[in-house]
Structure 1
Amino acid sequence: MIIDHISNNVVKKLEQTVRYEKKQVQVLRVSKSSSNMHAYMIFPEFSEVKISNTELDEYIENLSTSLKYVIDRKLNQQEIEKQNHSFIMTCAVEEDGVIDDETIHFNTTYVKPPTLASKVFKLVCGLGNRLNSLKELHITVLNNNINRIEIEFYNENEIYVAVEKEEIANAIMGAYTKANIYYSADLRYVAEGNEIKLKSIKPKLAGDVL
């Protein structure tokens, strides 16, 4: 069996992949992006549990039907910028192939955002009410500039306190200060109540030993 790479139907490709692997999918990550050649990408994580030939058709039908449903009702409700922006939906899959929509959570990523902190904050604020459920903020520094921003959101079923937008602005400004110091680094901010705090910084240092 060969996966139809020419086809543009990503759900059909998932069906073919499951039919080939004959294993249960534990977790699905689905990306909707304006920065990739294809609008959607699917990343299945398989378990070691095999699917019998007699159950395979029903499993694939359950998986594809529920995937189309959550893409339409959940992922497609997230608005993305015209360039370099993506939303990633992660969800658990039950043993019968049905997606457990109560486990759905989202990340959003900006690649090569604007070079000015004020413009980055304006970009992030474009998320509107979605920003209220910010859980973690990951910022990648490269070439003494912010190269990538990833925001992880709370699950719909989790209890959280909305982070003040001023706190988010201060975090982004702080990241630009770090970018002036480090050529390359990974910064991780975590929401605590209505505040956001820098929890870790991992500089990447390169050069010769003289």
Structure 2
Amino acid sequence: MTVKKEPLEIECSDCHKSFRLWIPVESLPEWESGSKISCIRCGARYLIKKNADGFLVALIKDTVSRAKKPEPVVVSAPAPPPPPPPEAPAPPKAATRGTILLLDDDRLAREMTEHSFKESGFGVIISKNAAEGLRELKKQKIDLIVTDLHLKNSKDPEATMDGEEFLVKANQIVKNLPAVITTGKDIVDDLVLDPKWFDLHVKGFIQKGNPFWVEELKLKIQEVLHRL
């Protein structure tokens, strides 16, 4: 049975990170008295209250750390600098932990995952529809695919395939390429246990909507790549 949910988008006033909550409609009365959540990046705390016009989002100020203003430093006149040493060759760039092809038609979801993946050392290639993703697969070396299950979008003429159709075509281009599927809808056993996902090398499903879904996705990716 599908649970109806109401979206709430929040931009942290402290670090300017945007994230989205999906709140089950049946639990909305509990939010009228207020619920506390934390920013997924900086940890700033917010009080969320449901009212007649939607949601009231208030920063809990005493949880936000403030940087101390630096004190002035008196510096004496410097001595003449020694001659510079010969230039050393630049160190090689650190290798990424793997390159992820990320497909999602939701701009906010793309931005959240891209920023988090790069902070963790992954290379990230972004596509907003399956057609873009297939073109990238032909050009780039990809270690793992993350695709939303529902990619079709009537506003995008190239968005004619869903995640499953994309994975079928992707496996014709690159054999045995592992994938993780994301979805904003409820994940049910009938979906996860379907044997077709084994043939498409799907290693897991992540439900979007809770404040920690990006972290759950990163842990799943690390687990899959570690086994390769």
Fold similarity call, TM over 0.5: no
Question: TM-score normalised to the size of structure 1?
Answer: 0.26
- Computing the radius of gyration from Cα coordinates, the structure with the larger value is 2
Which one has a larger percent strand, Structure 1 or Structure 2?
A: 1
